[in-house]
Structure formats: structure tokens, C-alpha cells
Chain A
Amino acid sequence: MKRLLVPAFGLLLLGGCASLDPAPHCDMSRVAGQRDLVAGPAMVEGETSPLKEMPMNSVSITDPNIIRKLYVRSIAARRTGTGTVEVVAQVVNCTDFPLNAEARTQFYANDGAASEPVSAWRRLQLPARTSNTYRELSLGDKTVDGYMIEMREGK
């Protein structure tokens, strides 16, 4: 019985502390619930593909080290004055520790092929409980129709 009470007490204490923590608060279970892996194209007609992959126009955190630490709050894509595409992703560090992350973007044409070489990794410094903005510009203009951002821990 004692064994059961001690963790329950600890949980209560944690809850009390959490309410005093500054924003942002990341509900990682909900973050996980929002995951939307899409099925890839099936090789056999009428069958769903067993392969689930990243959807287009999204940020994918491919590094398990930071998957529960970062939250991508918003992604925007817009055309610049010259017709190229600028993607902007706002990233939140949900932890109490500073983090380094890296991100890169691959732009795609409307037929699904890469319209240009993948961009270089761009480093993001994220102090504890802060947000930062990742920004990347495409090289092409008419050819760009979609994008995909990868994110990993910066070491």
C-alpha cells in the first residue's frame, strides 16, 4: 500500500509544480495523436499500401532524441516577390533545457519529383521553453509546388 501511495503523492506534487511552470506547455500525448502518416502509393490496385510515409507540406522530426522535446507550432508557405517559395516553420522547445536542432527542406514539383536539390541543414538554437523560426527559400519559382521539412537534433 505504501508503495502505491508514494508514486501517487509524487504525481500530485508534479501536477502542482506543472501548474506553476511558465508557458509553453506541450501536451505530448496530443502531439502524438495529431500524427498523420499517409499511405504511399500501392503497387496493387485496390489495395492499401503497407507503407506509411510523411505527407507533403509538413515538418517531420526524424530524430527520436528530440521527437518528444520539440513541437512545430505552425508552418507557412508563401510566394516571394520574385515568385520563389518561402517556407516558415515555428518550432517550440518544450523542455527546460537548451536544445540544438537542424532542419532542411526539399521542394517538390507538382508531379512529385524534387524540383531542386535539397537545401543545406540550417541550425536552430532553442533555449529552454522558447520558440524559434526556421526559414528556407526555394531556388525555383514556377516549378515548386510542394515541400517537405526534415528536422533532427543538432549535435
Chain B
Amino acid sequence: MITRLLAVSALALLVPLMAEAQTVGAKVPPYQAPAKAAPPARDGGEALDAAAPRPNPFKPQDDVIDRFRDAYAQGGRPRLAIWWNRQLSDTLAQWYSETRTVTADKSSNSTEGDLSLKQSGAKQSVTETQRRAGDSAERPARDETWDWEFQDGFLSPFLQADANVVDRTMITRIMGAGAEEIDPKTVEVMAMQGMADVMVEVLVADSARSTTGYELRARILDVKSGRVLAMVNSRALKEWQKTDKAAATSSGFELPDEDDESFGPERADQRYKATSSGFERKRKPPKLAVIAHNLATNVMSAMLPRLEGGAVPVAKTTDPAAPTPITPPQAAKPAPNQSAVPLPDVEAKPLPAPDKPAKVEAQNVETGPAAEEPPMPRPTKQ
């Protein structure tokens, strides 16, 4: 009996010790990166078109820039004045008036001496209230940094081609220095004719259909004759066209939506984004500087035939470093520009008072009391 008890107690002691048994196994082998799997072999072993790198339409086109450099030198290196998002308007003067008040004073006659009769003429003064017209050349302002990036991208190919680019603001200021009484519009035209040969007008407009949210337009004008040398519209550029290709999806080939009128540049490397409904192609357009660079090269391409054909007239006499500023005595009449097509001569026009031609009337400046007896107080129209 005692032995049984001893045996049972000995077993009871052993059992807790054996409550946990284990077997030690092998260690985990070190990690080795799996070999890169080769793409699955396809029927015929032909590489797909998609596997080949897609040509990037927005890559810098150095060949166009080189061609432009040669054609530009051949064309006589015309000076380019670029108008940044500023439209050429047909408003001649910046000031206009809606009303004109004529005050006439008539003095009574007086008799002197025997029969001599002296009559002083009636005095008439014209008071005109002028308002400054809103600048029609101004366009909705964009973000300042947007402008910087755009101008950087647009100018870089021209500077790379060693083009003669002048700043519109600068030449206007140079031309108008000391002649503040002349209308800025006149000064602007004089500056463009005297210190530039070609005007490049670059406009940007908001567009909801474009992937970029805006559209661009560049117009190249000959400032001497007003001739349109080239016109580039972003909507018509082939880089901005949609690639209307059928897309292979899990439910078969899908043709592009005919009602979808959106357009705009797209990245050459098609990027996909993981969404909750699977991978979706990103529609993000290229960077602004790249788009501006592309527009500039398209402008260059459009100018090439004109430059090579010698259609761009270049002023030979003027030196852009030393323009002839307007002197105040000449302020009444625009200085005759020898290098350009001369401005229309104001004096040549039939004036209301033939005996006393008023030179200042062309600019609608207040005539003042000196201009006596105009035949009719003609209201000024805008």
C-alpha cells in the first residue's frame, strides 16, 4: 500500500514537469530576394508595342532649335518682343471723355473815336472731363509663379538659339522716358516699331476641356506692316491631341468615347494609380515649363519658313542699345521713326480749323483757352 502511494506521488511530481514537450527544429534560412521573373512568353514571341518605350512628344527638340538658330541668322536676326498674356487691342488712346462742356463769353461792344469800330471776339473755352479707359490689353491675371514658370519654359529655347529677345515693358519705358504726356498706347507702338521687329503675342485662356485647364495661343506679327507671320494654337498642336486608341480592358477592347471632347497634353510615360476600384491611368499633364517649351519650339517651327524665305523685315539703322528718346518739344507729335513704317501724319488730315491746325487734337488732350473759336464743339467719341 505504501509503495503504491509512493508510486502515485512520484508520478504526480513528474507530470507537471512533462506538461510541456517540444521538439526543436531547423532555423529559418536567411532571406534571399527572389529572382526577377521574366515576362511571360507570348504567342509568336513578338514584343508588344506597349513594351517599347513610347516616344515623348514633349522632350526638348534640339533639332528644331538648331534649325531656328540657322534660319534666324539667315533672316537677319529680327528682334522679338514677347507680349506675355497681353492682347494687342485696337484702342488708340488710353483716355476718353464722355462729355464736353463749352463755355462762351461774349463781351459787349464798345465804340471809340469817330467811326472806328473795334469788336473783341467772343471767347469760348472747352472743358472736357476725361476718363481713363480700362486697358483692353489686360487679361485675367494668372498666378505669379505660374507666369514665371511659363516664361522660363517659353524663353529658354529662344535664348538657347541666341535669339534677340527684347522686353516689352523695357522698350516702352525707354521710348517713353521724358515724354510722360504722350499716351502710353502711342509710346507702346513707337517702341514696338523702333526697337522690335517681330511681336510674339502669347495668350493663355482657361479651358475646361483641356487636361491642363488652359489653352495657349501664340501669334507672330510683323510690327512694321501688321502682317501675321505665324499662328500657333495649342488646340491644334499634335502634342495636344488625344491618342484615340482602343484600350484593352478586362471586358475586351474599349473604343474611345466619341462624346468626350477633352484634349490636352498627356505624359508619355503612362502612370497608373492604385484606387479602390483597381489601377487607373493618371491623366496628369506634363509640367508647365515643358508645355511652354513645347509651345516655343512650335512657334519656332512656324517661323522657320518665314525666316528662311526672308519675309521678316529687319531694321538696319536702329541700334537697340541707343534708341532715340522722345524729347518734350516733340511730344505733341510722335517722332518720325526712320526705321519703321512712319506713323500716319496727323497734320495731313483735314482739321476742323484750317487756319489754325491744332496738333494736339489727335490725342484728345485738353485744348485749353489758347484754341479760340473752334467751328463746332465736337463731342469726342471713344
Q: Which residues of B contact A145 (CB under 8 A)?
A: 28
Q: Which one of A8-16, A39-47, A82-90, A121-129 contacts B?
A: A82-90
Tell me if B25 and A60 are in contact (CB < 8 A): no
Partner among A35, A75, A141, A146 whose Cβ is within 8 Å of the Cβ of B21: A35
Tell me if A68 and B25 are in contact (CB < 8 A): no
Tell me if A61 and B21 are in contact (CB < 8 A): yes
Q: Does A78 contact B (CB under 8 A)?
A: yes
Q: Does B32 contact A (CB under 8 A)?
A: yes
Using an 8 Å CB-CB cutoff, how does the interface string of A42-84 with B read, 1 for contact, 0 for none?
A: 0000000000001101111110100110011111111101110
Q: Which residues of B contact A34 (CB under 8 A)?
A: 23
The interface centre, meaning the residue of A57, A60, A74 with most chain B CB atoms within 10 A of its CB, is A57
Tell me if B24 and A57 are in contact (CB < 8 A): yes
Chain A: number of interface residues, binned into ranges: 35 or more
- Number of interchain pairs (Cβ within 8 Å): 82
Tell me if A75 and B25 are in contact (CB < 8 A): yes
Tell me if B34 and A82 are in contact (CB < 8 A): yes
Q: Does A31 contact B (CB under 8 A)?
A: yes
Q: Does A142 contact B (CB under 8 A)?
A: yes
Partner among B21, B31, B33 whose Cβ is within 8 Å of the Cβ of A60: B21
Q: Does B19 contact A (CB under 8 A)?
A: yes
- List 16 additional contacts besides A60-B22, A61-B20, A72-B22; criterion CB under 8 Å: A31-B21, A35-B22, A54-B20, A58-B22, A58-B25, A59-B23, A59-B25, A61-B21, A61-B22, A62-B19, A72-B23, A74-B25, A75-B24, A77-B28, A79-B28, A83-B34
User: How far is the CB of A75 from the nearest CB of chain B, in Å?
Assistant: 2
Majority secondary structure of chain B interface residues (helix, strand, loop or mixed): loop
Using an 8 Å CB-CB cutoff, how does the interface string of A2-46 with B read, 1 for contact, 0 for none?
A: 000000000000000000000000000001101111000000000
Q: Do A141 and B28 form a contact, CB below 8 Å, given A61-B20, A72-B23?
A: no
Q: How many B residues touch A, CB cutoff 8 Å?
A: 17
B residues in contact (CB < 8 Å) with A: 15, 18-29, 31-34
Q: Which residues of B contact A75 (CB under 8 A)?
A: 23-26
Q: Which residues of B contact A68 (CB under 8 A)?
A: 18
Tell me if B29 and A55 are in contact (CB < 8 A): no
Q: Which residues of B contact A146 (CB under 8 A)?
A: 27-28
Which residue in chain B gives the minimum CB-CB distance to A110?
A: B28
Q: Does A144 contact B (CB under 8 A)?
A: yes
Which residue in chain A gives the minimum CB-CB distance to B23?
A: A72
Complex formed: what's the CA distance from A37 to B16 in Å? 13
Partner among A61, A81, A87 whose Cβ is within 8 Å of the Cβ of B25: A87
Which residue in chain B gives the minimum CB-CB distance to A37?
A: B20
User: How far is the CB of A153 from the nearest CB of chain B, in Å?
Assistant: 13
Q: Which residues of A contact B32 (CB under 8 A)?
A: 79, 83
Complex formed: what's the CA distance from A34 to B23 in Å? 8
The 10 nearest A-B residue pairs measured at CB:
A75-B25, A72-B23, A60-B22, A58-B22, A58-B24, A77-B28, A142-B31, A61-B21, A64-B19, A59-B23
Q: List 19 A-B contacts (CB under 8 A).
A: A35-B18, A36-B22, A55-B24, A57-B28, A58-B22, A58-B24, A59-B25, A62-B19, A62-B20, A64-B15, A68-B18, A72-B22, A77-B25, A77-B29, A79-B32, A83-B31, A83-B33, A85-B28, A87-B25
Using an 8 Å CB-CB cutoff, how does the interface string of A143-154 with B read, 1 for contact, 0 for none?
A: 011110000000
Tell me if A57 and B29 are in contact (CB < 8 A): no
Complex formed: what's the CA distance from A71 to B24 in Å? 12
Which residue in chain B gives the minimum CB-CB distance to A144?
A: B28
Tell me if B25 and A32 are in contact (CB < 8 A): no
Tell me if B27 and A77 are in contact (CB < 8 A): yes
Q: Which residues of A contact B20 (CB under 8 A)?
A: 35, 37, 54, 60-62, 67
Complex formed: what's the CA distance from A85 to B24 in Å? 17
Complex formed: what's the CA distance from A141 to B32 in Å? 9
Question: Which A residues, 87 to 142, have Cβ-Cβ distances below 8 Å to chain B?
Answer: 87, 89, 141-142
Q: Do A89 and B19 form a contact, CB below 8 Å, given A82-B34, A83-B31, A83-B33?
A: no
Tell me if B25 and A57 are in contact (CB < 8 A): yes
The interface centre, meaning the residue of B21, B26, B32, B33 with most chain A CB atoms within 10 A of its CB, is B21
User: How far is the CB of A93 from the nearest CB of chain B, in Å?
Assistant: 15
Which residue in chain A gives the minimum CB-CB distance to B19?
A: A64
Tell me if B22 and A54 are in contact (CB < 8 A): yes
Q: Do A76 and B25 form a contact, CB below 8 Å, given A82-B34, A83-B31, A142-B31?
A: yes
